[in-house]
Every structure is written in C-alpha cells, then in structure tokens.
Amino acid sequence: MSSTLPPQTDSSTQSWLKRNLCPKCSLKRKAWYLASGALLLLAVFLAVGINIVLRGSYGMLEQRGAEEAARRIERCLVMELDSLERSARDYAVWTDTWSAVARSSLEYANVNMGASAFTNLHLHAFLLFHLDGRLSLGRVYDSDLAQLSPAAAAEWEPLFGPWARMVSNDHPRDVRRGLVRHDQRLLIFAILPITKDDGAGTVNGALVQARVLDQGVLAQWRDVTGLQLSMREPDRDGSRPWTERYRSIVVDENTLEIQVPLRLGDESIGSVITATVPREIQQQRQHALHWFYVMLVVLVAAALVLIVQLLHSLVLARLQSLYDGIRRVRDTSDLSVRFPCAGDDEVARLAQAANHMLEALEQSESARKMDERERDMLKSQLQQAQKMEAIGTMAGGIAHDFNNLLSGILCTAGLMRLDLPEGHPLLEHINRIELAGTSASTLIRQMLTFSRVQPVKFEKVRLGDVVSDVLQLLRAGLPRTIELRFRNEAVEDTVQADVSQLQQVIMNFATNSSHAMAGMPNGEFCVTISEVGLPDPARPETAHLPPGPYVRMDVADTGGGIPIEILDRIFDPFFTTKPVGTGTGLGLAVVHGIVAKHHGSVGVESEPGKGTHFYIHLPKVPSPKRADSGTTPSSTPLVPVCIRVLLVDDDHLVRETIARGLKRMGHEVTPVPSGDAALKILEDEHQEFDLLLSDQLMPGMTGLQLGERAAALRPGLPMVLMSGFAASLNEETVLSKGFQALLMKPVTMDQLRLILLALQSRHS
C-alpha cells in the first residue's frame, strides 16, 4: 500500500511480531488474537490494580478494626485500674486506716481485711506501708484456694516498698497504679497516700490494693468488648521485643489475632492480651473481588465480541472485498474492475489507491498492447527491409557481372557497326542487339534502384515518373494474365516525397491486386494520375486535409473485391484474410502509414465481384526549374589525336573488347588485369599515358584506391572510373577523388567516344 501508513513499531519488535504472531493465520484470526490478548492484558491489569486497591483499602479498614479492638482492651485495663483505684481510695482516705498504719492494728485488719472484702472487691492483696517502705499491715487472699493469709514483709516489701517510699506530703493526692508480675501472677495495683478523711494531718503511709489479672477478669472484659480474649506469653525467645502499641497477626484467611502488650509505664512486662476476631472485612473483600472478576470476565467477553464484530464490519469485511476483487483481477486479468471506496478512512484510501493502480495498469496494458502491435509491425518491416537489403546485395553482385557481360555485348556490337558500311543488312540486327542490351541495362538499374536500402529523403519528384519506373519493373514479375495500364492526366504531378517509399506503396498495391486476381483468366491493374482540388465532398477520407491543390493517384484492379463487413479493417496492422503463412497483414497498413507521413490520405471503394479502387491524395508542390540545356557541342571537326590509354579491368572480355574498340578509334591502349599491374607500369617513368580508365570492383585494389596512388605517381593524369554496381558510389564522390568522370556499365562505344572527344578537345 502506497498510501500513508500508521506509525510503525521499531524494526526489532516488528520483525518479532511478523515471525511469531501466527504468520500463516488469516487477518480475522489475528484480529481475534490481538483483541483477546489486549483485553486479557487489560483485564489482568485491572484485576491486579483492583486487588491492590481493595487490599490496601480493606487492609486499612481491617487495621482500623484491629486498632479499635486494641483500644477496647486498653480501655478495659484502664477501667479495671480505675475500679481498683476507687476501691483503694475508699480505704486510703480514712482516719481508721491512718490510725491503723501507725500501730499496725490487727483489729483494723480483722474488720476491713476479711475474706468477704477480698472476694467482694476481687482483691488479691491489701497492704499498708509506712512511708519508709516497711510493711505495716497486710493480708493476701488466694482465690484458687479460698485462703486468706497475712502478708509477708520479705515478699511484699521488695515489690511495693519503693513505691511506698515515693509517697510524700507534697503530693497527698498522688496515685500510683500499674501492672506487676508476682509469683507467676500478673497483678494490677493501685498505691495511694493514707490520709485522714477530713484532710487534717499529714500523710501517714501508703495503701496498696492488688488484683490478679486472670480469666475471671478477662471474662468481664469479654462481656464489655465483645471480643474473645485470652492472655499468654509472646516471643518467648525474646527475638521480637515489643515496641509497638499492639500487634495484628493474621492467623488464617478468616481469623485475625490482636495482641495488646501489658506495660508498666513504657516497659512491657512480658504478657499480652490477645483478642481473636473474624476477618469480616477480608471476607467482604474476597466477596467483592469475586463479583468483580465475574463482571470483568463478562465485560471482557462482551467487549471482545463487540470489538471483533466492529473490526470485521469496518475493516476486515472491506479488506476481504478488496482481496476478492484483486483475486478476480488476477484470475481474469480484467483491469476494468473497480472497488467501492466510500468514506475517508485508511481502507477507503486503500481502495482508491487500488483503483488508481488498476486504472494506471489498464492504461499501461493498453499502451503495451499498442506498443507490441507497433513493435510487431516494425519487426515485420525490419524483416522486409532486411530481405530487400539481402536482395539488393545479391542483385548488386549479379548486376556487376551482368553489366560486364552487357559491356562486352554492346562494345562488340559497336565494333561490328564500325566494320560494316552504311546500308548493310546486318546493321539492323546490330541495332536490335544494342536496343536489347540497353533495355537490359535499364531494367537492371531500375531493379537496383528499387532494392537499394536508403535513408528516408523527401524531395520533389514527379509522381508519373515514379509510377512508370515501378510498372516497368512489375511487368517482369506479374503474371502474364494481368494487364498493366498507366494514364497520367496531370500536367504538373510534382510531390514532396521519398521515392523508395512511393515505390513501396505501388508495389504493395500491385502485390495485393495480383493475389486478388490469382486464378482469373485475365485481369487488369490500372494506375491513373490526375490533378484535383480539396475539399472534395465525394472523398470523405480527405476531410482532415487542408484545402489546396493535390495530386491524386487512382489504383484499381478487377479482382474479387473486399467484403463490406471488413472494409473498415483492411488498414489495421496484421489484419489479413489470407491463409496462414501467405500474408502478414502489413501491406495496406504500411501503405496507410507511408501516405500519412506524406501528409496525404488513402481511401477505398470495393464491391465483391467488381474489384477494388484505392484513392491516394498527396499535396502538390511546384515543379523544380529545369536547367537550360546550353549550347550544343561544336560541330567543327576535331583534329584526330592519338590518346595513350592505360585500361585496368579484371574481366577479360570487357578488357579485350574495350581495348579493341579504343584501338579501332586510333588510340594506344595498354590493358592490364589489376591495380597492382597498373601501378608497376605507372612507376616506369619512360611510359607516358594520357588517360587512366579503370574498373571499380577488382580483386586486391579498387579503382578509387588505384586512382589515389596513381595521382601520387602521375599528378595531373586524367582518370575515368567505370563501375557495374555503384551501391556506395556517386558522381560527387568520384570527382572528389580526382577522377574526371564516372561511367556506369555497360559501357558502349559511343560513351567511350564522347569521353575521348572531350579529352581530345582538351589537348587541342
């Protein structure tokens, strides 16, 4: 496709696609693959993206839920500490307690530290300390054994003594509370200064209440938080120290464990409260992803079908139509096929480009066929020209030998005429011999003129002279049953033409007429020349010619005629009704072409059974002015002069006959058979010559070559050249080489006499 292409990928990617993307698949299947791959890739990207987004969003929600659960646990712990603090404050701000510390009153212990108080307040230890950290009074209750026992100073003073020493009068309302591990139990405690209930007096000590953080407490927290709580010891190997506020651990896809560390200030005491919660948010995410994937698959499938259908209707179907049309063009070679190209998209432009290509191919094919016809016609013309050239070459060779024979015949006849007195009966026979020889020479000259291959040369010629020469040549070639007739009714029949082409026109007409009249007992071939003026309504073929005077040549025969249905086709190249091998169909086509080159026209009238009549119109031109003949030669008799002639001719008969004739005229003749022999004689300074008479075509050295070397040896020596075939010679060329004349064989005694008379007048 020559039209503008979409942007291309890089060469390596494009090459990989061509090699790997199903190179033998149809475009429709490739479209399915590409659309499926693109949508699948898009679906994967969407699925991964949505999964990441939902995981982040739902993970954040799950994290918030875990954080809220941790806050609940922390609030429960704070509430537990607040409850313990309130219980401890009831006893710490009491005058009885203030008094009991100082005297370590057992009565106070029996009344206020009984088992009922421990069970009601869920206490494990109730302790009173002096300000110096010594234990004043205290009891411990073991809920597992339901046993109440006095507190041992050695056991409790190291644990809470430091806290008790921190109580001072400066901060009478200062409260210390927290978590502490004791005897493998986790205790929550509250330490308050002991003061009187009226606020009078100083701080007398510190009251400590401790409660065991056990499953009972966790059960209460469970009711408050709605969480499944437990307590355990995490990270027993100590590889992960607690630094965060809580930990959220995924147990499985449906369960999340939240771990909240129990701290004493900022320091973990090594125990955690765990809450096991269902991962409802995660389940919602899985549910949402499930339906998203289902909808994505449905949408991708629907989009795939829609895209492929649209691609098929908008592109593939139209491309298939283009493909079918191109295959039809390939199978039928019908270049008139055109594709629908409605719209302005790439496929429409492709169809337009294909239509333009087919139009160009159709024009190119038409031009090619026309060129082939012209080439075939030119080939046939070339073959015909080569035949004529071969005939001309052969005729030239024959003419050379034949003219030599005629030269001997005519010269011998001339010698016989010199030997006989006037009125002798043999003179009539000699006249017939000379007339026959002259006619034979004229016939040979006409044949050579017609067969000679020459370049096209337009010159002023008399059409009647051309026709007359051709008809004389045709008389020997046409059957005797055909009568040739020629009438020249024109006063001025001069046209601007190439003689050889006009001869070919007449020969082609004569050839066709002879074929048309073959087998007839008698026939007639008639050529008539006349002068006409155009326009002529009776001759429609001349309508395109400019008005003016014309020379018309009518060529008619009495053959079988041309059927009316093919009359309009007879000038077409290669059209023929003759059997295969007997005609080329070029004769009349060549005639039409030649007449057109001469700015003329050719028309035809024919009727089956009545013969055919051709009309040729050629523009008439003014005839060339004839040169004056000049004065006649002087009749004053010349004084006879003996001329010394060096005669060179390879033909023995011609050489001896001409030598004998020259001697009869009173001249001295030295005959030699070759140019080399002549040069040897000319090199001898003692031998004088007045004329070099040489033939042109001789073995070893031509007459022109001899003339050049003779002129170098004998400057000023008159030279005359004879030739029986002058295909490449003309008088201008001969004169330019230093010769005084060119004699065309056959040479007669009269021609020799005229040459010698001219030389005699020069000497006299």
Compute the distance between CA of residue 298 and CA of residue 316 in angstroms, rounded to an integer. Answer: 25
Domain range 644-761, its CATH number among 3.40.50.2300, 3.30.540.10, 3.40.50.1220, 1.10.1740.110 = 3.40.50.2300
Lookup: tokens for 451: 């067969």
Q: Tokens 């089956």 label which residue?
A: 608
* Class of the CATH domain delimited by 457-619: alpha beta
pLDDT in tens, 649-693: 998 888 998 999 889 888 999 999 999 999 999 998 888 999 999
What CATH architecture applies to the domain 61-277?
A: 2-Layer Sandwich (3.30)
User: Among positive and negative, which fits the CA dihedral 665, 667, 672, 676?
Assistant: negative
- Tell me which H or E stretch contains 138: strand 135-142
pLDDT in tens, 461-482: 999 999 988 888 777 677 888 8
pLDDT in tens, 408-434: 788 888 888 878 888 888 888 888 887
Task: Determine the pLDDT at residue 553.
Answer: 95
Higher per-residue confidence, 399 vs 187: 187
Q: Count CB neighbours of 466 within 10 A.
A: 21
The secondary structure of 651-686 as a DSSP string is -HHHHHHHHHHHHHTT-EEEEESSHHHHHHHHT-TT
Task: Determine the pLDDT at residue 742.
Answer: 87
Task: Determine the pLDDT at residue 125.
Answer: 94
pLDDT of 593 higher than 50: yes
pLDDT band at residue 525 using 50, 70 and 90 as cut-offs: very high
Through-space distance between the first and last CA atoms of the chain, rounded to whole angstroms: 93
pLDDT of 348 higher than 50: yes
Cα→Cα distances 219→207, 224, 228, Å: 27, 9, 9
Task: Determine the pLDDT at residue 311.
Answer: 78
Q: Are 164 and 129 in contact (CB under 8 A)?
A: yes
Q: Count CB neighbours of 15 within 10 A.
A: 11
Give Cα 656 to chain centroid, integer Å: 79
Cα→Cα distances 71→240, 245, 329, 457, Å: 22, 10, 84, 123
pLDDT band at residue 242 using 50, 70 and 90 as cut-offs: low
Sequence-distant (6+) residues with CB within 8 A of 724 are 399, 400, 401, 402, 403, 404, 407, 695, 696, 697, 744, 745, 746
Largest CA-CA distance found in the chain, in angstroms, rounded:
213
Task: Determine the pLDDT at residue 638.
Answer: 43
Task: Determine the pLDDT at residue 407.
Answer: 77
Task: Determine the pLDDT at residue 240.
Answer: 56
Averaged pLDDT for residues 635-656: 77
Higher per-residue confidence, 763 vs 436: 436
Q: Helices 587-597 and 346-419 meet at what angle, rounded to 10?
A: 90
Task: Determine the pLDDT at residue 303.
Answer: 84
Q: Count CB neighbours of 338 within 10 A.
A: 12
User: Among positive and negative, which fits the CA dihedral 404, 409, 412, 417?
Assistant: negative
pLDDT band at residue 118 using 50, 70 and 90 as cut-offs: very high
pLDDT in tens, 429-447: 888 887 777 767 766 765 6
Q: Name the β-bridge partners of 34.
A: none
Compute the distance between CA of residue 371 and CA of residue 388 in angstroms, rounded to an integer. Answer: 25
The secondary structure of 193-206 as a DSSP string is EEB-TTS-S---EE
Lookup: tokens for 288: 């949402």
The phi-psi region of residue 631 (left if phi > 0; otherwise alpha if psi is between -120 and 50; otherwise beta) is: beta
In the chain, what are the helix, strand and coil shares in percent, each to the nearest 5?
50, 20, 30
Cα→Cα distances 343→151, 186, 347, Å: 104, 87, 9
pLDDT band at residue 252 using 50, 70 and 90 as cut-offs: confident
Nearest-5° Cα angle at 114, 109 to 120? 130
Rounded percentage of the chain residues whose pLDDT exceeds 70: 82
Task: Determine the pLDDT at residue 617.
Answer: 95
Compute the distance between CA of residue 561 and CA of residue 654 in angstroms, rounded to an integer. Answer: 52
DSSP 8-state symbol, 93? B
Compute the distance between CA of residue 277 and CA of residue 250 in angstroms, rounded to an integer. Answer: 10
Average pLDDT value over all residues in the chain: 80
pLDDT of 739 higher than 80: yes
Strand order across the 482-488 sheet: 482-488, 523-534, 548-557, 612-619, 601-606
DSSP 8-state symbol, 635? -
- Backbone angles phi and psi of 595, in degrees to 5: -65, -40
Task: Determine the pLDDT at residue 385.
Answer: 61
SS3 750: helix
Q: Which of 51-55, 75-79, 686-690 is predicted least confidently?
A: 51-55
Task: Determine the pLDDT at residue 2.
Answer: 42
Lookup: tokens for 99: 């008094």
Averaged pLDDT for residues 25-49: 77
pLDDT band at residue 278 using 50, 70 and 90 as cut-offs: confident
Higher per-residue confidence, 751 vs 636: 751
pLDDT of 632 higher than 60: no
pLDDT of 368 higher than 80: yes
Compute the distance between CA of residue 259 and CA of residue 518 in angstroms, rounded to an integer. Answer: 130
Task: Determine the pLDDT at residue 584.
Answer: 46
Compute the distance between CA of residue 106 and CA of residue 112 in angstroms, rounded to an integer. Answer: 10
pLDDT band at residue 269 using 50, 70 and 90 as cut-offs: low
pLDDT of 12 higher than 80: no
Compute the distance between CA of residue 553 and CA of residue 488 in angstroms, rounded to an integer. Answer: 9
pLDDT in tens, 280-321: 777 777 778 778 888 888 888 888 888 878 877 777 777 778
Peptide bond into 746 cis (omega under 30): yes
SS3 128: strand
Sequence-distant (6+) residues with CB within 8 A of 28 are 312, 316
Task: Determine the pLDDT at residue 615.
Answer: 94
SS3 721: strand
pLDDT band at residue 154 using 50, 70 and 90 as cut-offs: very high
Q: Tokens 């058979």 label which residue?
A: 673
Averaged pLDDT for residues 697-719: 91
The secondary structure of 488-524 as a DSSP string is E--S--EEEE-HHHHHHHHHHHHHHHHHHTTT-S-EE
Lookup: tokens for 180: 């502490």
Q: Which of 73-87, 627-641, 697-711 is predicted least confidently?
A: 627-641
SS3 281: helix
Task: Determine the pLDDT at residue 574.
Answer: 57
- Tell me which H or E stretch contains 239: none
SS3 640: coil
SS3 22: coil
Sequence-distant (6+) residues with CB within 8 A of 526 are 484, 485, 486, 487, 554, 555, 556, 557
Q: Are 709 and 681 in contact (CB under 8 A)?
A: no
3-state secondary structure 333-351: CCCCCCCCCCCCCHHHHHH
